[in-house]
Amino acid sequence: MPDTRTLHSFALTDAGGAQHSFPGGQQALVAFVKEDCPTCNLVMPVLEALYKAYGQEVDFLVAGQTATGNARLAEVHRLSVPILDDSALKTSFEYDIDTVPTLFWANAGGELISTVIGFVREEWQALDAAIGKSTGAGPANISWEDLPAWRPGCGSLSVDPTIADRLRAEASNSPLRARSIDIAPADDEFEFMFDQGFTDGLPVIPPTPERVIRMLGGTKRHAQDIIARMPPNMGDVTVEKIAINAVMAGCKPEYMPVLIAGIDAICTDEFNIHGVMATTMGAAPVMVVNGPIRHRLGMNMKMGALGQGNRANATIGRALRLIIRNIGGARPGGTERSTLGNPMKFTMCFAEWEERSNWAPLHVERGFKAEDSVLTVFAMTSGPTLIVDQDSRDAEQVAGSMGMSLESVFHPRVHRAAIDTLLVVCPEHVDTLSRGNYSKDDLRKRIQSVTERPLRDLVEDEKSGIGLKRDRAAALSAEKLDRMVPKFASEEFLHIVVAGSDAGKFSGAFHGWASGKIGSMPVSRKIEDV
């Protein structure tokens, strides 16, 4: 079926400043060209001949894509047909020009009659004949036999990757709705971001419309979809605002699905992001990624997985915190009241090295399929604290060392605690545990066993006021005071993942915040849209 759509209206000026509008009340030939395209140069004499033959009955609107190139075209080909200035490329963008030359022949109402792309001699001859028949003028004085049968066109500047994002951002149907801030030409944009309080204390990348549009390309979600409402400000976290902060943090577009899942997770009642950021204890979200997306994003799960050096790990975690700051409003000195703070408030995101053990990975333990990509967030107050054991040679010893180290969570006298703790087991320790046929559950049981202490050892004394209060202890029987109390309220508070280098017997642990309804619970979300 013929294409009968109505073409976009526009107004462009020629080199003399005269304005030419489409539609203009009569048939029109709209052409898009650029000076550095050999095929455009080939057809310029043909367009000139068509203009001379039909210019009285047909509006000729030849849009050139650079101002200097338009002048050269007019000079080299001695044109009388006006070359219109589309150096801003907005008209080329609206017309979705992929290739130049592209011609549109339209009726007086702006409805498309036919389209010609590139140069195919028979198609141009047919266009000449059709215009001549329609107008009763012509024919054009063109030596068709002197022209090649076919020449390919060139790429339009409007689809150049360095330009297209700007055009999408500036388009009338742009998905961007966030407030735009203009800065003075003399201002340093990086210093401006500091001055406005948009940063975490480190420099951020200015979120220009082009960069935000490019970031939005990493998700199929609409830019104005609201993912969550984030306390304390209860700001609407749209996909666009996630993209803005992702740009500032230095993310790649392909990280967007992880961030969207992360926002969905932390803005739940279970995770309680307001409490996490407001507590004076200094908690922060820790993100663990499982599933195939780890490899697609090139996330680090091996040497230095909990440290610097990997873009995905560092910037995903940082973007989440910038969103909490800039949209949620959790800022130090405001609702964020951490006594000391901790480096995890900058970033903490890593992937589990699932393939390095025969254990079920974290997301499978939490009810997902092995092939799912999943993000799990924990509210942690400190870490990673190092667990150094280079001497233990069997599973019981290694597991025992881990238990002894975890007695320091909160305080050695805090037992039967509802504290979510994330244990990161390094590969060399995994190997020792595997030789003893230890599962993750076996490791949890061993930790609980070695941390058991008689209740009487957990009573406050002259060394520390932490523990069971003396008056309460005095009311208990000897039998109750001899009762053994493990470190954790239950094994479910011990979360275990594998990460780190093949060399080095150094595991680590993140110590949690208060759990349950009064605190925060780990939350997992499947990473969609990948």
**Token pair listed for 255:** 């990280």
Q: Looking at the structure, tell me whether residues 213 and 145 fall in a common domain.
A: no
pLDDT recorded at residue 3: 54
Report pLDDT digits (tens) over 331-363: 988 889 899 999 999 999 999 999 999 999 999
- With respect to residue 109, please indicate whether it lies within any of the assigned structural domains: yes
Phi-psi region of 433 (alpha: psi -120 to 50; beta: other; left: phi over 0): alpha
Same domain, 62 and 210: no
* Same domain membership, residue 142 and residue 77: yes
Residues 324 and 434 in one domain: yes
Report the CATH number that the domain containing residue 153 is assigned in CATH. 3.40.30.10
Share of the chain above pLDDT 70, in %: 98
Point out the domain boundary residue: 116, 143, 159: 159
pLDDT tens digits along 475-513:
999 999 999 999 999 999 999 999 999 999 999 999 999
* 429 in Cβ contact with 357 (< 8 Å): no
219 lies in the same domain as 341: yes
CA-based torsion, 437, 442, 446, 447: positive or negative: positive
Contact of 530 with 296, CB cutoff 8 Å = yes
Both 150 and 194 in one domain: the answer is no
Domain boundary among 159, 175, 209: 159
**Structure tokens belonging to residue 180:** 């735009």
In a domain, 5, yes or no: no
Number of C-beta neighbours around residue 16 at 10 A: 6
Is 105 a member of any domain?
A: yes
- The yes-or-no verdict on residue 297 having pLDDT over 70 is yes
Domain that holds residue 40: 10-159
Same domain, 293 and 417: yes
Question: Could you tell me if residue 457 is inside a domain?
Answer: no
- Other C-beta atoms within 10 Å of 76: how many? 11
Residue 26 and residue 61 in contact, taking contact as beta carbons nearer than 8 Å: no
pLDDT at 169 over 90: no
Q: How far apart are CA 12 and CA 83, in angstroms?
A: 10
Which H/E stretch holds residue 169?
helix 161-170
- The number of domains in the chain is 2
Instruction: Look at residue 81 and tell me whether its pLDDT is greater than 70.
Output: yes
Q: Residue 107 pLDDT more than 90?
A: yes
User: Residue 8 corresponds to which tokens in the numbers above?
Assistant: 């976009």
- What pLDDT band is residue 2 in, cutting at 50, 70 and 90? very low
> Do 104 and 239 fall into the same domain?
no
Given a cut of 70, whether residue 530 has pLDDT beyond it is no
pTM of the model as a whole: 0.74
In a domain, 501, yes or no: yes
Q: How much is the pLDDT for 519?
A: 93
CB-based burial of residue 81 (10 Å sphere; 0-12 exposed, 13-18 middle, 19+ buried)? buried
User: What is the three-class DSSP state of 244?
Assistant: helix
Q: Is residue 174 part of a domain?
A: no
The answer to whether residue 456 sits within a structural domain is: no
* Structural domain ending residue among the three candidates 140, 159, 178: 159
Do the bridges between strand 59-64 and strand 83-85 make them parallel or antiparallel, or are there none, so unpaired?
Answer: parallel
* 104 has pLDDT over 90: yes
Q: How confident is the model at residue 173 (pLDDT cuts 50, 70, 90)?
A: low
Question: pLDDT at residue 309 above 80?
Answer: yes
Burial of 355 (0-12, 13-18, 19+ CB in 10 A): exposed
Over residues 257-280, the pLDDT tens digits come to 999 999 999 999 999 999 999 999
Cis before 23 (ω within 30): yes
Residue 377, strand partner residues: 287, 523
Judge whether residue 468 has pLDDT over 60.
yes
- The encoded tokens of residue 36 equal 């550095």
Quote the pLDDT of residue 516: 83
Task: Report yes or no: 237 and 327 within 8 Å, Cβ to Cβ.
Answer: yes
Q: Which tokens go with 247?
A: 């740009």
Q: Are residues 209 and 126 in the same domain?
A: no
Neighbour count for residue 517 (Cβ, 10 Å):
10
* For the chain, the helix, strand and coil percentages under 3-state DSSP, each to the nearest 5: 35, 20, 45
Average pLDDT of the chain, as a whole number: 93
Q: Which two tokens stand for residue 40?
A: 């455009």
**Distance between CA atoms of residues 306 and 302, nearest Å:** 9
Instruction: Identify whether residues 127 and 195 lie together within a single domain.
Output: no
Do 436 and 375 have their domain in common?
Answer: yes
Give helix 38-54 / helix 121-135 axis angle, nearest 10°.
Answer: 20
pLDDT tens readout for residues 433-466: 999 999 999 999 999 999 999 999 999 999 999 9
What confidence tier does 1 reach under pLDDT thresholds 50, 70, 90? very low
**What confidence tier does 4 reach under pLDDT thresholds 50, 70, 90?**
low
Q: How far apart are CA 174 and CA 143, in angstroms?
A: 45
Q: Are residues 255 and 129 in the same domain?
A: no
Strand 154-155 relative to strand 99-100, pairing: antiparallel
Contact 505, 426 (CB under 8 A): yes
| Residue 172 within any structural domain of the chain | no
